[in-house]
Structure 1
Amino acid sequence: MAVKDRDRFSTTTRIRLLGEQTAARVYRSQTKRQARRSRLTGRAALLALVLCTLIVALAYPIRQYVAQRAEIAEVQRKQERTRERVEQLRDLKARWQDDAYAEQQIRQRLHYVMPGETGFVVIDPNAAKQSRNDLGAADRPWYANVWDGVDSSDASDQ
């Protein structure tokens, strides 16, 4: 036993025992860390799966909601433009109810004259050709459009 006791107190034996104890502690701490890490990984995977499921489940309804809000905004803008147009047309209708405005428009658009007045139309041949090309049918007097129609139909017969 004396050899064993001496062996037990020897530096080599103590260092070997210390190394084994340290190795055991390190091994235990590594297994605990790995166990904790594996639990966190499982929790993280579950959390990621739940989040992905929520995103996929909510993506379509959110997209529909945003699209419908944009559509509602567009319809409201269109409704506002329509209201403005209705107001413009009401104003125009009220103006046409006034005889002075109607007479002014008839004189301007149809080149009518009142009894006792003499109407003149001055034609510059160069200006007439240029104005026919520059102005659209809506901007020229009505009789110019009629005469152009007669000229074009006469030219197609020849």
Structure 2
Amino acid sequence: MPADRFSTATRLKALGAVLVESGAAARVYRARPPRRNRLTGRAALLALVMCSLVVALAYPIRQYVSQRSDIADQRRKADNAARTLDGLRDQKSRWQDPAYVEQQARRHLHFVKPGETGYIVQDGSGTGPAKKAPRAAQRPWYENLWADVDAANRR
């Protein structure tokens, strides 16, 4: 029978039997299939393209993230400014009321109406300048102001 009709495995078995009979079995070994290189040309090209994309997109993505952070900061600042503006508008509307102005003048500047007698109680439980320096309550407000300016100047 022609040899090409048998499978490779059958031919190797027959060759092995012949070699064992002749004593050459020690010299025969099975050849391993040639090791394929794991990095083929296509894989190398794909890796190169992927690395190029990563390098090309790294800077724009970093800029995008940075700008998004800046936008969030600016929105936070705008919200804080809007809240401050609302508070200032409320305060402005309060200062338009003459009764509020009178109340603040009486409280902070110790103003009294003509015919009234003003009293300042120094029991140590109050707040403001009287608590910081008991002598300050005995002086007029403008002297306290100048004393504070002088103290700030010495620092």
Deviation at 1:143, TM superposition (A): 3.8
Identity of aligned residues (%): 52
Specify the alignment match of 1:89 in structure 2: 88
Q: Which runs of 5+ in 2 are unaligned?
A: 1-13, 135-139
- Aligned pairs for 1:1-158 (under 5 A) are 15-16=18-19, 27=31, 30-31=33-34, 34=35, 37-38=36-37, 40-123=39-122, 131-132=132-133, 142-143=141-142, 145-146=144-145, 148=147
Residue by residue over 1:6-50, the C-alpha shift from the partner in whole angstroms, topping out at 9 and shown as x without a partner, is xxxxx989623xx9xxx8xx65x724xx4xx33753222222111
Structure 1 pair 129/118, CA: closer, same or farther in 2 (3 Å)? closer
TM-score (norm 1): 0.62
Deviation at 1:142, TM superposition (A): 3.4
Structure 1 pair 104/79, CA: closer, same or farther in 2 (3 Å)? same
Contact 2:122 2:130 in 1 (8 A): no
Paired residues in the alignment total: 126
TM-score (norm 2): 0.63
Structure 1 pair 62/13, CA: closer, same or farther in 2 (3 Å)? closer
Question: In the aligned structure 1, how far is the partner of 2:132 from the partner of 2:16?
Answer: 120
Deviation at 1:115, TM superposition (A): 1.1
Deviation at 1:80, TM superposition (A): 0.5
CA RMSD of superposed structures (Å): 4.0
Structure 1 pair 82/13, CA: closer, same or farther in 2 (3 Å)? closer
AA aligned to 1:84 is: R
AA aligned to 2:33 is: Q
Which protein, 1 or 2, shows the higher relative CO under an 8 Å CA cutoff with sep ≥ 6? 1
